[in-house]
């Protein structure tokens, strides 16, 4: 009898302890979690953050309340510092660009290898397969919890001078690029003059003609009305793509209950799927309505043919080979195999 009472007492104590731990964990939740984004709504990128935050708030009955900070405002607009700030806890969660985080996670440079991915099926073959899992493992090792993929899209070339169909057309052109050494190497190999600057600095530079062109996903062309800053020529060449990654700071992640972690993960996967559809809208349909809209703004659109693309591939191959070892030759080989085997 005494033994049974002891067992009962232990069971009750264990229940009380579990309840107390649950209450402590619950009270350790922050009143608000800060999510960093480079772009806010109405861009697909900004919508990814909004959908994720809304789903999480609703499904956790407000236990996890997320506030969006677009324009990487938590780090004074310096998008290359975003991953470091996330690791340090200045940022709780983010939907971030593989390009912006590549200085801290070298494997993310994979997506910036020139002309690795010819189409959306190639992007999906990487992010949704074994390569994607390996990259998530690298992000996790670097200090953040990766949950889902999104997309910023293929980066196309625009300029104020002429249609660009070959590397020769780019010779001597001043092109604004993002702050990644791989981008500078690529444009140097094409004979252009790459200039690293933030978008805030790029707009007046494009307007005044101090810079001739830039590269970005096409949805930004219409949202930012790039034709009003002299960008009268567009070349669709799919030279690199920029997948987005939904992540949470490790300490924040570990402060949540297992059930809430699962809610946040599932919400990220759903938001990512919705966002990829938004990012590709107008570009995957047979008549590419987004490109028609751009042409309707008085812009000359040049679509690079497979033969013309080959000249760009050849010119940038030394850059590709140089960076292959930095990224990890076995990861690049796995990516090439996955792309070759993709279903088109």
CATH superfamily of 31-340: Bacterial extracellular solute-binding protein, family 7 (3.40.190.170)
Residue 325: its pLDDT value, please? Answer: 95
Q: Which of 24-28, 200-204, 271-275 has the highest mean pLDDT?
A: 271-275
pLDDT, one tens digit per residue, over 171-188 is: 999 999 988 899 999 999
* Strand pairing report for 93-97 and 233-249: antiparallel
Residue 80: its pLDDT value, please? Answer: 84
Rg of the chain on CA atoms, in Å: 23
Residue 26: its pLDDT value, please? Answer: 55
pLDDT, one tens digit per residue, over 123-136 is: 999 999 999 999 99
> Going by C-beta distance under 8 Å and a sequence separation of 6 or more, which residues neighbour residue 219?
43, 44, 153, 279, 281, 282, 290
Distances (CA, A) of 206 to 9, 161, 198, 218, 293: 75, 11, 12, 17, 21
User: How far apart are the C-alpha atoms of 139 and 247, rounded to whole Å?
Assistant: 9
pTM confidence score: 0.90
- 42: preceding bond cis by omega (within 30 degrees): yes
- The angle at the Cα of 179, spanning 176 to 184, to the nearest 5 degrees, equals 65
Burial class (CB in 10 A: 0-12, 13-18, 19+), 118: middle
**pLDDT-based confidence at 27, cuts 50/70/90?**
low
Domain layout of the chain by residue ranges? 31-340
Residue 143: its pLDDT value, please? Answer: 95
Residue 238 φ/ψ region, left for φ over 0, alpha for ψ in the -120 to 50 degree band, beta for the rest: left
Distances (CA, A) of 34 to 91, 176, 292: 6, 30, 38
Residue 106: its pLDDT value, please? Answer: 96
Name all contacts of 186-195 with Cβ < 8 Å and 24+ positions apart.
Answer: 186/112, 186/114, 186/239, 186/240, 186/316, 186/319, 189/114, 189/315, 189/316, 189/318, 189/319, 190/312, 190/315, 190/316, 191/167, 191/315
pLDDT, one tens digit per residue, over 49-69 is: 999 999 999 999 999 999 999
pLDDT, one tens digit per residue, over 276-329 is: 999 999 999 999 999 999 999 999 999 999 999 999 999 999 999 999 999 999
Residue 5: its pLDDT value, please? Answer: 60
Helices marked H in 172-305 — which ranges? 181-189, 199-208, 218-223, 250-255, 258-280, 289-295
Strand partners, 242: 153
User: How far apart are the C-alpha atoms of 229 and 220, rounded to whole Å?
Assistant: 13
Contact yes or no for 35/93 (Cβ under 8 A): yes
**pLDDT-based confidence at 139, cuts 50/70/90?**
very high
User: How far apart are the C-alpha atoms of 102 and 92, rounded to whole Å?
Assistant: 19
Residue 11: its pLDDT value, please? Answer: 55
Residue 77: its pLDDT value, please? Answer: 83
């Amino acid at each position: 009898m005494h033994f049974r009472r002891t067992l009962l007492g232990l069971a009750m104590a264990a229940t009380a302890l579990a309840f107390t731990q649950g209450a402590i964990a619950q009270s350790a939740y922050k009143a608000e979690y800060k999510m960093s984004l480079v772009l806010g709504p109405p861009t697909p990128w900004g919508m990814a953050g909004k959908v994720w935050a809304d789903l999480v708030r609703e499904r956790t009955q407000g236990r996890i309340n997320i506030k969006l900070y677009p324009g990487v405002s938590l780090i004074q607009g310096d998008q290359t510092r975003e991953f470091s700030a996330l690791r340090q806890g200045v940022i709780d969660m983010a939907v971030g660009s593989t390009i912006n985080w590549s200085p801290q996670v070298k494997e993310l440079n994979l997506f910036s290898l020139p002309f690795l991915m010819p189409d959306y099926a190639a992007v999906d073959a990487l992010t949704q397969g074994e390569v994607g899992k390996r990259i998530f493992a690298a992000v996790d090792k670097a200090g953040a919890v990766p949950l889902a993929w999104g997309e910023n899209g293929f980066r196309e070339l625009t300029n104020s001078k002429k249609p660009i169909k070959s590397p020769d057309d780019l010779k001597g052109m001043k092109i604004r690029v993002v702050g990644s050494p791989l981008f500078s190497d690529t444009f140097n190999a094409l004979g252009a003059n790459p200039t690293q600057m933030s978008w805030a600095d790029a707009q007046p530079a494009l307007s005044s003609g101090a810079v001739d062109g830039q590269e970005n996903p096409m949805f930004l062309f219409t949202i930012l009305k790039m034709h009003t800053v002299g960008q009268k020529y567009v070349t669709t060449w799919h030279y690199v793509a920029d997948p987005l990654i939904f992540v949470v700071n490790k300490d924040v992640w570990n402060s949540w209950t297992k059930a809430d972690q699962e809610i946040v993960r599932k919400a990220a996967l759903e938001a990512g799927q919705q966002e990829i559809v938004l990012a590709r809208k107008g570009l995957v349909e047979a008549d590419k309505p987004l490109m028609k809209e751009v042409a309707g703004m008085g812009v000359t659109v040049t679509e690079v043919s497979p033969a013309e693309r080959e000249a760009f591939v050849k010119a940038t191959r030394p850059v590709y080979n140089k960076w292959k070892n930095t990224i990890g030759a076995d990861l690049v080989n796995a990516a090439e195999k996955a792309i070759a085997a993709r279903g088109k």
